[in-house]
Structures are given as structure tokens and as C-alpha cells.
Amino acid sequence: MEESEKTTVEESKFEKALKSGKFAVTSELGPPKGADIEEIKEAAEILRDVADGINVTDLQSSVMRLGSLATCHFLKEWGLDPIFQVTCRDRNRLALQSDLISAYVMGIRNVLALTGDYTTTGDHPQAEPVFDLDSVQLLWAIKTLEEGKDLAGNDLTQKPSFFKGAVVNPGADTEASYELQIIKMKKKISQGAQFFQTQAIFDAEVFKRFMERIRKEHIDIPILAGIILLKSEKMANYMNKFVPGVFVPEPIVKKMEATEDKVSMCIEIASNLIDEVKPYCAGVHIQALGWEKHIPAVVKDLK
Amino acid sequence: MILTEFKPVEEILLKLKDEKNIFIIGCCGCPEGAKTGGKEVLTDMKDKLEKEGKNVTGILEIDFLCQKALIRSRIKPRLNEIKNADSALVFSCGLGVQAAAAVLNKICHPALNTITFGGITGMWQGTERCDTCGDCILDYTGGICPYSACPKKLENGACAGQSNGKCETDPERDCGWELIYNSLKKIGRLDILNKFIPPRDYSKILPSAELRKTRLWALDEEEMV
């Protein structure tokens, strides 16, 4: 016990970046469907010099893939700082606690706790939806492990330690869902969340209104605004129709429609959005969805 | 028949910690069969609460608490007792607690845990659904069951998957947490949502050996001829 208390866990590169007060940049990688990790290595190399931390998604959109834990382990080996995304959809509390301890012994320090999309939204709609814990309870579970106990109250031989994050949606569209986002955010903080990444935003005004509300609620925690690289007007229309909580305003869709050069417009839209939200938040979380090679251009003015 | 068992008295007293005036309402349907209802049970609880310094504003038994129309007709002459209460303590399965909460516009504390539908449903004819979790928390969720109203069974608030108040699993399905929020807002008790709800105890879904020895279950196994 004494020995484990003496052990000081070094802060992750991402945690240091956020604490230094610099405008942080995180991005994310989605593991491949299958065992080929070359593709992810290429994307990871592009992110090496631009991202302070790299999220690794956990069977994103409920699609079966290579796991987040194994991919985080590789990022770590390649000298990058992974943010281990953990959803509640596929594992019960035994497996979640075990994977968290596994992540710790592999040197993974950043964790992002999520509920997870429902099973029927993915490619295995027949699968049993687990959801044994919710995202607030998952943070509570991590906190409990850090205190040297498991959820059943048993002692652990050594305490893990994490830099713990959670997600909030600034674009919830009804009074109930908006208020519940605030209430749940506070619960996440009380259960140990140390940073937030938001759902993707396209309307800076929506984000500003949300941050004003956060200030009024006296919530003081690093928030990274979610930015999706918009590849086409088709993608915008698709998200407006099918992706809950994401809304691309008409002027942006029109701009995309009007141009032949989608890549330049994508970079312009994302850079402008970052400029607008920068005074209000601690950093940005950029989801490139395969366009990782354009992230350096999007963030070049931040350097 | 729907099988229920008593919540521990300590748990009930904890639920009522900040409340003084309590209205007791019980179902005479299944709970009588499971011996978790009936006049004796309700008056026994009244005595226990009064010993703890509570004021019981009234006791009401209703044949089938899962029927909202029946509840409405039976509470008419008793509205003052209900108005004078801070909350209601409900002896019924999860369906009855949900139906009572929908009608009474008060926090309805479940006094029982619902274990299983035991093969036959009760008189339930409404929109309420009980997940027979054995660990009822309907008083924290405005009388709407988060286990049956939310496909992800979330206990601490909505996910980000809702859109215009509808669920990510089906655009025609109401978001369960939207309903929970609006229900608590209607009775001015949104403060309850700030409470952290720990993970559900799944060990409670297995009916105990004692419960499996009840008259009904025993009869089921008896060789008669």
C-alpha cells in the first residue's frame, strides 16, 4: 500500500498540454475493420506533429473493428499519446474494469468515457446491447479503481491512475435534452471528469451560447470543441438528416455546393470555425474521418 | 400474477428522509397474492412511519393500480389527502407506480421491488412498461421507468443520440429521458435529477428461494391427480 502511494504517475503529454494553457489539439483515429494496421500507422504519423493527444474510437458507430485498447497500445509504442475511448455498449462492469487496468499497465493514461451508440445503428444489429453502466457510472468506476478498489469493494494490488475525459453535446435541440446535457455534465465532473470534448459543432454561435451557459453554471473545466472536417455538401446533408446533435447551417452547405475545390473549402470552413471558437475554449478536437492529411493545413495558424 | 417483494424498511425511510407528510396507496391485485399488499400491510407501514415522526395523510387501496382510469375515479373523494402529502408511497408493481405517478402528480416512491411477471400479467392496460428489475428507482425518474423507456437503460440522464425529443434507435420513439425530464418538471422536482444513481444491482433479477416457495409457485409444481 505504502509503495503504491509513493508511485507518482507521470502526466500524459495531452494532460501537460492542457495544463500549460496552450490551445490544445486532439484528433482521432478509427481502427480498421481487420488486422491491417498500416493504414492507421500512416494517419498516426501525420498527426504526430499536430495533435497533443489522439482519440482511438471504440467500435465507432457500433461497427465491429480492431479494438481501441490494442490500437492505443500501438500508438503508445510509436511514441504518440493515445486517448482510450471506452463505451458502455459492449462490456459489462467486469470487462470494463479489467480493460481499464489493462490500459494502465500498457502505459495508457488518457481515457474518454462514453455511453456508446445503440447496437442497431451498426453492422451487427442483432448483438445484445450491454449498457451495464452508463457514462457517469463508468467515470465513477474509474474513480473507484483509482482509489484502489473495484466496484465490489475489493482491494487492488496497485492503483491505476488516469486523465479522465467525457463528452457533452452543445447542440441538444429540446429544452429537456439541453438541460439534461448540463445536468449530466455536472454529474460527470462530480464523478471525476477532468476534461470534455464536445460533439461536432458547425455553428460557432451555438457553441458560444453553450459556453456562456457553462460559465453561468460556474463550470470551470477544459473543453475541447468538436470539429468535423466537412468533405462535401452531400456529407453535410447526410449529417443533418441522420446524425443526432450535429447541424450544418445552410450557408456552409451552400459554400460547399458552390465550389469545385472541396479540399480548400473544407480547410477554410474548419479554420474559420476554429478561429471563432478559440477565445471560448481550451482546444479543439478534430475528426478528419480519413482526411487526416489535411489537418496540418487546418491548424497551421495555431502554431 | 406479478410477483413483488418488500423493499427494506431502511431503504424506504431513506427515500422519505426529507419528507413529512406521506400518502399511502396500495394495489389489491397481485400484491395481495404475493402478500406484499392488503389492508394489514398498508396499516402496518402507517404505524412504522408514524413511529418515525411522519404524518400519514391517508391510506387508499385500489383494486388494480395499473389502471389509470380506476385510480382517477377512486382518488376523487380523497384529493385533499393527496394534496396535503409531500409524496406518495406506493405498494404495487412497477406498472402501478408508473400509473400512480402519471395521475397523482407527486413523487411516487415504490415500496416494493418487482421481481417477475410470473407468466401472467396483471390488469395492465396502459402505456407503462415494467422491466421487473427487482431494484425499483421510479421515484428518481418521475414515475417513468428508465429501464423500459430508454433502450440503453441509462440512469443518470440522456445520451447525445436524441433528436427533437426522439430516440436514436427509432425516430418515432420518444426519448425516455425527455419524458423523465418533463415529468419531473411538471411537478417542480427537477432537483432530483442532480442525484448520482449508482449502477443497478442485476443480482436482484433472480427470484429468491423464499419467493420461489410462495403458494402460487408451489401449486404449480404440486401433483394433484
Instruction: Name the 3-class secondary structure at B22.
Output: strand
ipTM greater than 0.95? no
A180 interaction partners in chain B (CB closer than 8 Å) = 157-158, 177, 181, 193
Mean local confidence (pLDDT), A111-130 = 96
Given a contact cutoff of 8 angstroms between Cβ atoms, the answer to whether A201 and A169 are in contact is no
Q: Which structural domain range is residue A233 located in?
A: 2-302
Structure confidence at residue B224 (pLDDT): 61
Cβ separation A137–B163 shorter than 8 A: no
Q: Which residues on A lie below 8 Å from B153 (Cβ)? A: 131, 134
Residue A181 forms contact with B (CB below 8 Å): yes
Mutate to test the interface with A, among B131, B148, B155, B156 (most CBs of A within 10 A): B156
**Residue A6 confidence class, pLDDT cut points 50, 70, 90:** very low
Summarised one tens digit per residue, pLDDT across range A167-202 is: 999 999 899 999 999 999 999 999 999 999 999 999
Average pLDDT value for residue range A140-162: 98
Spell out the alpha helix ranges (H) of chain A: 2-6, 13-20, 38-47, 68-77, 93-105, 135-146, 175-190, 204-216, 233-242, 250-258, 262-277, 295-299
pLDDT computed for residue A10 by the predictor: 80
Domain count, chain A: 1
Average pLDDT over residues A289-295: 94
> What pLDDT, on the 0 to 100 scale, is given for residue A303?
61
CA A242 to chain centre: 20
Q: Using CB atoms and an 8 Å cut-off, which of residues 18-77 of chain A contact chain B?
A: none
User: Low-confidence residues of chain B, pLDDT below 50?
Assistant: none
Determine the pLDDT at residue B29. Answer: 86
Q: For residue A51, what pLDDT is reported?
A: 97
Q: What is the CATH number of the domain that holds A120?
A: 3.20.20.220
CA distance B15 to B8: 11
Q: How many CB pairs under 8 A join A and B?
A: 107
Is the pLDDT confidence value at A155 over 80? yes
pTM of the model: 0.90
Shortest Cα–Cα distance, B136 to chain A (Å)? 16
Distance (Å, whole) CA A298 – CA A232? 16
Res A12: pLDDT: 94
**Residue, of B204 and A229, whose pLDDT is higher:** A229
Query: Within an 8 Å CB–CB cutoff, is residue A143 touching chain B?
Result: no
Mean pLDDT score, A277-287: 97
Distance, CA of A114 to CA of A57 (rounded, Å): 10
What is residue A2's predicted lDDT score, i.e. its pLDDT?
A: 44
DSSP letters for A18-63: HHHTS-EEEEEEPPPSSS--HHHHHHHHHHTTT-SEEEE-SSGGG-
The answer to whether A172 contacts B162, with C-beta atoms less than 8 Å apart, is yes
pLDDT attached to residue A186: 98
